[in-house]
Amino acid sequence: MKYYVISGERSGDLHASNLIRSIRNIDPSATFRGMGGDYSAREGLILCAHYEEVAVMGFIEVVFGFRKVIKYLNLIKGDILAKKPDVLILVDYGGFNMKMAAFAKTHAIPVHYYIPPKVWAWNQKRALKLKKITDRVYSILPFEPAFFDKFGVDALYVGNPLLDEIAKFEPHPFFHQKNELSYQPIIALLPGSRKQEINNMLSVMLDVVKKFPNAQFVIAGVSNLNRELYEPAIEAGLKVIFEQTYDLLHHAIAAIVTSGTATLETALFRVPQVVVYKTSGLSYAIAKRLIRVPFISLVNLIAEREVVKELIQNDFNAARLCRELNNILSNIQHKAGILDGYNEVKEKLGNQSASETTAKLLIEDLSK
C-alpha cells in the first residue's frame, strides 16, 4: 500500500516517524512519501519537501509567509496527483494539513488525521469542516473525543505518543561529565524549538539566572536551528546542550518551559515547571480575541485546572518568573501540589502505545 504522510514541524515529524515504523511492522510492503523531516526520512519516508522549508508560526508571521506556504501547498498537491497514494495520513500541522485534507477529498483519496488540529481552542466550528474532509481522526489528548463527538467527528483516543518516547528513554550514565556540568542542582530552560520562540523567550529566561546562584541553569538546545540564537546564553556563561532534553529533564529539579509539547514532557518527567509564552503584540491581540480555552499548557488543559503557573505575554517578565521559580524551589506544599497534578495527567493519558494503536486502526479501516 502507498502511504502519503505530511507533518510540518519537529514534534510532528517525530510522531510521524513512529507511526511509519508501526505501519511497516503490520504492512511490510508499505511505501511512504510526503513532507516531513529527518526522523521520518530515517524511517523510509521519501521527502517531497522538508518541513523546515515551509515553517512559519504566529498569525502575523503566517500572513507574511503566505506565498511560501502556497508554493509548498501546490508542490505537495502536484506530487499527490502524480503518485496516486492509497491514503493520505496527516500529522498535526493544522493550517497546512486542513487544506491538504480538503484537496485529497476532492480527489477521492482517504484522509486519516493523526493528532488533529486544536479546533477546540479557537474557531470551534472548524470541527464541522474536519468532519467533511476526513475519514478518521486519531486523537492524542483524552478530552478531545468528547469535544469532537458534539460535531459528529469520528475521533478515537489512541494514547499519547510522548509516553512511547519516554518509555524508550535511557539516561546517559555520565550526563554531567559528558556536558562538563557541575553537581549543583539543575534548572532546565526550554526556550522552544523555533527561531521565533527562542528570540522571544530566551532573553527573559536569562534575566533570572543571577537570582539563583546556588543552581546551574542549562538550556535545551535544538540542533537544526542556527546556533547563533543561543549566543546570548553562552556569553552569559550558561551551558547549551543539544538533543539531550530528556537527559536534562531527568536531572533537573525545576524548569522554565515555553508552551507546547515540552510542557507535557516536563510533567511526565515529574519536573515542577513554570510555563511561559510571548509572541508579537499584534499576534497576541488577535489570539486573545480568538482563543476559547482557559489555559495554554497541555498540562493544565488535560488536568482541566491550573496545575502549573502560566506566564503569558506581559506577565512573562523577570520579576514574575523569579517569584514563581522561587515558589517551586522553596515551598514544599506548592511543589507537592504540582506533582499531584502530574499524577492526574498521567492517569488520564493511560498507557496504550499511540503509534501502534493508530497503525492498527488505520490499516483495519483501509482493508474494509
DSSP letter (8 states) at residue 272:
-
pLDDT of 12 = 92
Determine the longest span between alpha carbons in the chain, in angstroms: 62
pLDDT of 257 = 98
Residue 283 scores a pLDDT above 90: no
What's the rounded mean pLDDT across residues 229-255? 96
Residue 169: Cβ within 10 Å count = 12
Query: What is the average pLDDT value for the chain, to the nearest integer?
Result: 92
Could you give the percent of the chain with pLDDT greater than 70? 93
What stretches of 92-172 adopt beta strand conformation (E)? 111-114, 136-139, 155-157
pLDDT of 223 = 87
pLDDT, tens only, 154-188: 899 999 999 989 999 999 999 999 999 999 999 99
CB 254 within 8 A of CB 212: no
pLDDT, tens only, 353-367: 999 999 999 999 999
Helix (H, G, I), strand (E, B) or coil at 93: coil
pLDDT, tens only, 44-69: 999 999 998 886 544 444 444 567 78
Residue 127 scores a pLDDT above 70: yes
pTM of the model: 0.86
- Please, which pLDDT band fits residue 290 given cuts at 50, 70 and 90? low
Residue 287 scores a pLDDT above 70: no
- Please, which pLDDT band fits residue 11 given cuts at 50, 70 and 90? confident
CA distance 346 to 59: 32
Cell numbers standing for residue 64: 507574511
Q: For the domain made up of 178-349, give the CATH fold.
A: Rossmann fold (3.40.50)
Residue 273 scores a pLDDT above 70: yes
What's the rounded mean pLDDT across residues 265-285? 85
Residue 139 scores a pLDDT above 70: yes
pLDDT of 53 = 84
* Site of grid cell 527562542: 198
What stretches of 22-65 adopt beta strand conformation (E)? 31-36, 46-50
pLDDT, tens only, 314-337: 899 999 999 999 999 999 999 999
For the domain 2-159+352-367, what is the CATH superfamily, name and number?
Glycogen Phosphorylase B; (3.40.50.2000)
Name the segment(s) of the chain with CATH classification 3.40.50.2000.
2-159+352-367, 178-349
DSSP letter (8 states) at residue 307:
S
Beta-carbon contacts of residue 194 (< 8 Å; ≥ 6 apart): 9, 55, 57, 225
Residue 308 scores a pLDDT above 90: yes
What's the rounded mean pLDDT across residues 256-277? 96
pLDDT of 66 = 65
pLDDT, tens only, 195-207: 889 999 999 999 9
Residue 31 scores a pLDDT above 70: yes
Residue 231 scores a pLDDT above 70: yes
pLDDT of 280 = 62
